[in-house]
Amino acid sequence: MDMFSEGCIVFDAVKFFHRNQTRLPTSTRRMAAGVAASLLFLASPACLANDPWESTNTRIYAFNKFLDTWLLRPVAVTYSNVLPGIVRQGIGNFFSNIDDVNVLANDLLQLKLRDAATDSGRLVINSTVGIGGIIDVASSVGLSKNEEDFGQTFGRWGVGSGPYVVLPFFGPSSVRDSVGLVLDTLFNPIQYHNDDSTRSTLLLLGQLDDRASVLAMEGLISGDEYLFIREAYLQQREYLVNDGAYYDDFDDF
């Protein structure tokens, strides 16, 4: 039995993703960041996962995998192949700019006033000079994007993550992050667009761009895919809640 089958995996390269991150959309950033961080890993005798619903989770994971294999991934591959990179970047920037509304709200809820100033500046600059966020002007003038959501805010407030859960269509999560996801959705300005067809089109395009953005990371997954993604997700979420602070169990060796 390999280390993936045992499910006792500790990822110690989460910093890699943040040093090399440029832009990932919200809905897949949580999973993709963890998978990217898994370029380097070390086995540990202590398991990270709190997964009492593993039997149900694996069934939902299998459903999501089937849907992705036969629908989402082929469409995402076509999307990536047909659209020029500069167009895809502009689309990603647009949705990242919309996400900054949610980021700013969570900056304030966590009393991160300096980050709130940065993210409000990003929102204003990119929404105006950046033509609705299509061009990320703010990053070029030193206003880097922060990563905050309601799941992280709850974690900063001391709310435990609770059991790991795989959500239909949305993928890896936890009880805490699932509640946070509902609030993240409510804070998405697209939800309040008056025209139903425009709203649906933008939401679908956002999901498609999300999926296309992680195509290059698929080769990083090895071993038991369910366990790999579970541990990567949980480690990454812990990293984000603690703003990058972590303890390396192997420093003592």
The per-residue pLDDT for range 47-82, each reduced to its tens digit, is: 457 899 999 999 999 999 999 999 999 999 999 999
Tokens 């990053």 identify what position?
139
Q: What angle do CA 156, 249, 30 make, to 5 degrees?
A: 45
**Residue given tokens 């992705």 in the structure block:** 68
Task: Give the number of residues written for the chain.
Answer: 253
Dihedral of CA 36/41/46/51: which sign?
positive
Give the model's confidence band at 22: pLDDT under 50 very low, under 70 low, under 90 confident, else very high: very low
Q: What pLDDT is attached to residue 40?
A: 40
Q: Is residue 194 domain-resident?
A: yes
- Does residue 223 lie within any of the structural domains? no
Residue 134 lies in a domain: yes
Query: What are the b/e assignments for 141-168, b being 16+ CB within 10 Å?
Result: eebebbbbbbbbbbbbeeeebbebbbee
Instruction: State residue 41's pLDDT score.
Output: 43
Q: What is the tens place of the pLDDT at every residue in 161-202? A: 999 999 999 999 999 999 999 999 999 999 999 999 999 999
Domain count along the chain: 1
Residues 30, 61: Cα–Cα separation, whole Å = 16
What pTM, to 2 d.p., does this model score?
0.81
Beta bridge partners of 166: 172
What is the extent of the structural domain holding 138? 51-218
Establish if 144 belongs to a structural domain. Answer: yes
Domain-located, residue 14: no
- Residue 21 within any structural domain of the chain: no
Q: Residue 212's pLDDT is what?
A: 94
Contact 94, 133 (CB under 8 A): yes
Q: Looking at the domain assignment, is residue 71 inside a domain?
A: yes
Separation in Å, CA 104 to CA 88, 97, 108, 126, 244: 24, 11, 6, 14, 19
Question: Is 234 domain-assigned?
Answer: no
